[in-house]
Amino acid sequence: MAQSRTTDASPQKDIDQLSEQITTLRQDISDISQTLSGLGRSSRDAATEQARQKAADLRDAGQRQMHNAQYRAEEMGQQAADQVRNQPAAAVGLAVGLGFLLGFMTGRK
């Protein structure tokens, strides 16, 4: 059996309830906006910090690689100097040969 609505409910009461619900809805939307804004800021801050940390890690790794390369170059230079001291004739012959080869390759025809 269908129940009929009583006519005692005034339209003004319904309008007042609707107005209260709209006010509550506006406040809820405002709260959601603030929450999303805060979430966006914290996500941005976390991403910025992560990028800074990654950049610092990469910079440190690059510096370590540069120091390793410098050490290796110094070591190879020292080995070359030792070889020149131990075998000066071979070093002069090698230098003359390389000079001739480079001159031949870069010479104008």
Residue-wise pLDDT tens digits, 48-79: 999 999 999 999 999 999 999 999 999 999 99
Return the structure tokens found at 25: 């809805």
Give the highest mean pLDDT range of 38-47, 65-74, 90-99: 65-74
Instruction: Compute the average pLDDT of residues 77-105.
Output: 89
Radius of gyration of the chain (CA): 41
Task: Give the distance from CA 57 to its chain's centroid.
Answer: 10
pTM of the model: 0.49
Residue 91: Cβ-neighbour burial (10 angstroms; 0-12, 13-18, 19+):
middle
Listed by start position, the domains of the chain span 20-106
In the DSSP assignment, the letter for residue 9 is S
